Amino acid sequence: MGPSAAQVTLRGLCGGAVHLPGDPAYDLARTAWNTAVDQRPAAVAYPADPAEVAALLRAARAVGLRVASQGTGHHADALGPLDDTILLRTAAMTGLSVDRAARRARVGAGMLWVDVVDAVSPLAALHPAAPDVGVVGFSLSGGLSWYGRALGLQSNAITAVELVTAGGDAVRADADHEADLFWALRGGGANFGVVTALEFALHPVPEVHAGLLAWDAARAERVLAAWVDWAASAPETVTTAARVMPAPGALTDLRGRQLLVVNGAVLGPAGAALAPLRGLRPEVDTFARVPAAALARLHLEPEGPRPDDGRESLALRQLDGAGVAALLAAAGTGGLELRHLGGALGRPLPTGGAVSHVDGAFLLVARPGSRGLFEAAAPYATGRRYLALTAGRGDVSAGYDPAAWPRLRAIRAAVDPDGLLVAGHPIPSAREVAPKRAPSRRQGPWPTV
């Protein structure tokens, strides 16, 4: 079946950069970074500027379609079915300017972090653990970085958001303009408009020590328990993560072995901060002084499009020895990741947005279906999840403080009363009982805590 008459009316938009089912470029245009997701939208469009975004939104409303904006598609599974939706790809909205005197960057919605980290040097941005992640999606969802315990979430670094609302109006939201919208965007994701550019603060980082420590997995219980104890009093200049995982490709001498890996970054001298961990005699120690931009590849994540099952997350209070043992037993050979929270990540920021902090000592991250692992973690759970590392739909309200949730719903009702916009983690308006869209066909089980 070919495109409907309503779909055909979209062809002339975005300078002709609209692809309908059956068009030669449609299959390539609809492909997300996560190639395991077979998204089939009513159309795929590539607007180049806010005016083209506004025209697309007006056209979608006129023909009864909805709009979902997407940068890379790392979390494409969260969007759900797109049969009645135009997929708005932001790749054509590029551009980067850096004001080093003001320590500020302005970045177009199509930019990836790999384009930013070198360009802003010797200043640093609060970027993610992989370089091929989109700047906008990461920033609007919170933004955990290797600087987090010292400098907080990337969403708190946002100084302005340029977007087109569901009504087709181009606006700039900052501390002095559209204050409610500015608050909601910083953590509320794509629920409130199509973001075309972000402005955010940069940070002077004169010295960074980063790398990894690795032990054989046979020592995991002792070493992980020691890391947990160390993390409770570690200086805020240190942000780390601990993983039980197969040896990464960079460790060629250990290939084929299961390891406990602690990697992270220290702002400033690292000797005293890392001494307790080095006292556990790791087989590998790569910590060294590095350029700030090198942190974009510190987590050794695979780059480029690939099939991905997604992740689930759960914030935990301080663990004890019994908790560590239970998590390792439940994880088995399936892997385990704990990210070090606290410090600036755990402190509510009065001037911050909808997600200004993450309540907990650690963030447990695992693949969907790791129900036994989440059940083992339940006695330590804070009840909070980090939505940027949460697959599918599930209970979106668990990503926010209870007081923030009704405010977010009210703002959604004000700026998108008809539900034109589709977001990966949908915030229903105050007028809705539940999100209008069905759960993703690929949604994994959510942990019960």
pLDDT score, position 304: 81
Q: To the nearest whole percent, how much of the chain has pLDDT over 90?
A: 76
Q: In whole numbers, what is the pLDDT of the chain averaged over residues?
A: 91
Convert the pLDDT of each residue in 107-120 to its tens digit.
999 999 999 999 99
The one-letter amino acid code at 219 reads R
- Assign 433 a pLDDT band (cuts: 50, 70, 90): low
The DSSP bridge partners found for residue 30 are none
Q: Report pLDDT digits (tens) over 407-431.
A: 999 999 999 999 999 998 999 976 6
332: confidence class by pLDDT, cuts 50, 70, 90? confident
For residues 364-386, one letter each, b for 16 or more C-beta atoms within 10 angstroms of the residue's C-beta and e for the rest, the string is: bbbbbebbbbbebbeebbbebbb
Average pLDDT value for residue range 30-55: 95
Span 288-321, pLDDT tens digits: 999 888 888 888 777 788 888 778 899 999 999 9
CB 10 within 8 A of CB 45: yes
CA angle 184, 393, 107 (to 5 degrees): 45
Average pLDDT over residues 59-70: 96
> pLDDT at residue 278 above 70?
yes
Q: Are strands 85-89 and 66-70 parallel, antiparallel or unpaired?
A: parallel
CATH number belonging to domain 208-389: 3.40.462.20
Backbone angles phi, psi at 69, to 5 degrees: -85, 145
The sign of the CA dihedral 109, 104, 181, 154 is positive
- What integer pLDDT is reported at residue 140 of this predicted model? 97
Which class does domain 96-204 fall in?
alpha beta
Residue that wins the pLDDT comparison between 202 and 252: 202
Sign of CA dihedral 65, 68, 70, 76: negative
Q: Which residues partner with 86 through β-bridges?
A: 43, 67
Domain coordinates of the chain in residue numbers? 5-89, 96-204, 208-389
Give the H/E segment covering residue 214.
strand 208-216
Mean pLDDT (whole number) for 219-224: 97
Counting residues of the chain whose pLDDT is more than 70, the rounded percentage is: 95
pTM of the full predicted structure? 0.92
pLDDT attached to residue 405: 96
DSSP state of 381: B
Q: Please state the rounded mean pLDDT for residues 31-35.
A: 90
- Encode pLDDT of 161-218 as tens digits: 999 999 999 999 999 999 999 999 999 999 999 999 999 999 998 789 999 999 999 9
C-alpha pair distances (Å), 151 with each of 156, 183, 184, 280, 424: 9, 19, 21, 28, 27
CA distance 209 to 271: 9
Domain at 5-89: CATH architecture: 2-Layer Sandwich (3.30)
- Model confidence at 333, in pLDDT bands (50, 70, 90)? confident
Q: Tell me what the mean pLDDT of segment 127-152 comes to.
A: 94
- pLDDT recorded at residue 269: 86
Mean pLDDT value across residues 101-105 = 97
In angstroms, the CA 150 to CA 238 distance is 7
Task: From residue 165, give the alpha-carbon distance in Å to each of 94, 155, 304, 415, 421.
Answer: 19, 20, 31, 7, 9
Q: What is residue 272's predicted lDDT score, i.e. its pLDDT?
A: 93
Would the pLDDT of 223 be above 90?
yes
